[in-house]
Amino acid sequence: MPRNEDVKRTEGIGSSWKVGLTGGIGSGKSTIARAFEALGAHRIDADQLAHEVLDDPAVMGEVEDTLGSGLRAADGTLDRDAIAKRVFADEASLNLLEAIIHPRVRNRIEDRLAQIARMGFDDRSPLPGGRPLILL
């Protein structure tokens, strides 16, 4: 993809492009994301953010308070397999877990978007004029 070598960083990203990258397990999402990152795109990985949220001690406690005991691994972290068994067997439990995790993930996405906005345009971007490309 051609680049404009004369583009300099400018304030604001009013015309950034945000692209949602979706697909099933093993469909190549990570491969595509890495290719775009190599071209200068920013990547916000909601799965990674959800893992970070679940590693927060306050969230661990809230998950246990909401879904019950028996959800900790031997190392003290949440046992994701145990959580999956519980929530995928009971839609109400899944909804409760999502109510804990999703708002926090959205907040982290918004924080990251704001961080990217503060960077301004970037001549490494694969888009014309140095507009940021953000993969969600």
State both tokens at 49: 């953010």
Other Cβ atoms less than 10 A from the Cβ of 127: the count is 20
pLDDT in tens, 83-134: 999 999 999 999 999 999 999 999 999 999 888 877 766 666 667 666 666 7
pTM of the model: 0.78
136 in a structural domain: no
Measured torsion, CA atoms of residues 111, 123, 34, 24, in degrees rounded to the nearest 10: 60
Residue 77 lies in a domain: yes
84 is a domain residue: yes
pLDDT value of position 114? 87
Q: Is the pLDDT of residue 10 over 70?
A: no
For the stretch 19-45, pLDDT in tens is 888 888 899 999 998 988 887 788 899
Confidence label for 6 from pLDDT (cuts 50, 70 and 90): very low
Supply the pLDDT for residue 25: 87
pLDDT score, position 18: 84
Give tens-digit pLDDT for 66-80.
999 999 999 999 999
Q: Distance between CA atoms of 133 and 40, rounded to whole angstroms? A: 8
The answer to the question of residue 27 being in a domain is no
Task: Examine residue 98 and state whether it is found in any structural domain, yes or no.
Answer: yes
Which residues form the domain of 56? 50-127
Whether the pLDDT of residue 48 is over 90: the answer is yes
* φ, ψ (nearest 5 deg) of residue 62: -65, -40
- Bridge-based pairing of strands 17-19 and 133-135 is parallel
Q: What is the pLDDT of residue 71?
A: 94
Torsion angles phi and psi, residue 26, rounded to 5: 75, 15
**Do residues 116 and 109 make contact, with C-beta atoms less than 8 angstroms apart?**
no
Cβ contacts of 36 within 8 Å, gap of 6 or more: 43, 126, 133, 135
Write the CATH number for 114: 3.40.50.300
In a domain, 96, yes or no: yes
Residue 113 lies in a domain: yes
Is residue 18 situated within a structural domain?
Answer: no
Give how many domains the chain has, as a whole number.
1
Three-state DSSP class for residue 43:
strand
